[in-house]
Amino acid sequence: MPRSLHADYLLSFIFNINTHATLSSSLLPIIMPGLTIGDTIPDLEAETTQGKINLHHFCSNSWTILFSHPGDFTPVCTTELGKMAEYAKEFNQRGVKLLGLSCDDIQSHNEWIKDIEAFTPGCKVSYPIMSDPKREIIKKLNMVDPDEKDSSGNNLPSRALHIVGPDLQVKLSFLYPATTGRNMDEVVRVVESLQKASKFKIATPANWKPGDPAVIQPSVTDQQAKDMFPQGFETKDLPSGKNYLRFTKV
C-alpha cells in the first residue's frame, strides 16, 4: 500500500474508533506515522540563535542538514556541534545549509555556543540553532527520543539528522542513541552520494568514498549508459551472466 494511502487508512481507523470509544493519547505516537524518507518537511516557524525562520523558506532551493541534540551543555552534543562548525566549510562548498535543534531556550543556546567554540578552537558556530522548549518542533520532525527525559519528565530530542533536498523532501535520516556521537565524515560522504545520485543515473556501492567509481542504475540500458557516461564504464563478469554490475566515474 502506498505510504500516503497507508497514513490515510490509519487516520480513518483512529477517527472511527473515536466515534465509539476514547482512544488513549499514549497510543497515538505508535499508530501515527512519523516524518521519514520521501516525506515533505512540515512548514513551520521557529526561533533560532539567528532570529525567527520559516523552515520551508530556509530549506527551499538548497540542500539542508537538520540535526537535533538531547540538550545544551552536554558532552557528546558539544563535540558534535563543534565538529559541525569545523566541517561547515565542507558543507558550504557542496551548497548545504546547516540547522541545529535543541529544546533549550535561545539564551541557553547562546551561552552554550561559547563552550562549543572554546572546545573547537578556530571554528565559529555560523549556523542557526532552533529552540523548542515546548517540544512541538521535535514531534513534527520525528526527532523525539522515547526513552530520554529531562528532570521534569519531558521527552528530549533524539540524536537525529535529516538531509533535506531542494524539493523540501527528506532524502536520508540518521538516528543515534544519546551515547553515540555522529561521524561527520560519514555525513559528508552521504551528502555527496545523494547529490551525485540526483544528478546522474548512478548509485554508490558499499564503502564508497568521494572519488571512487559509482554503479550505474539497473534501469539504464548499455546503450543509454554509453550516451550518459562518455567517459566509459566497466561491466563486471558474474556467474549469473547478468551484466548489471557496471562501474563508472562521475
Read off the C-alpha cell for 104: 533549550
Collapsing DSSP states into helix, strand and coil, what is residue 95?
coil
Residue in this structure with the C-alpha cell 566541517, named with its chain if needed:
87
Assess whether 77 carries a catalytic annotation: yes
What is the DSSP code (8-state) at residue 24?
P
* Dist. CA 213–CA 197, nearest whole Å: 12
DSSP string of 156-178, one letter each residue: EEPEEEEEE-TTSBEEEEEEE-T
Distance, CA of 162 to chain centre: 1
Question: Exactly one of 59, 77, 103, 123 is catalytic; which is it?
Answer: 77
Alpha-carbon span 162 to 118, nearest angstrom: 27
Q: Catalytic residues, which ones?
A: 77
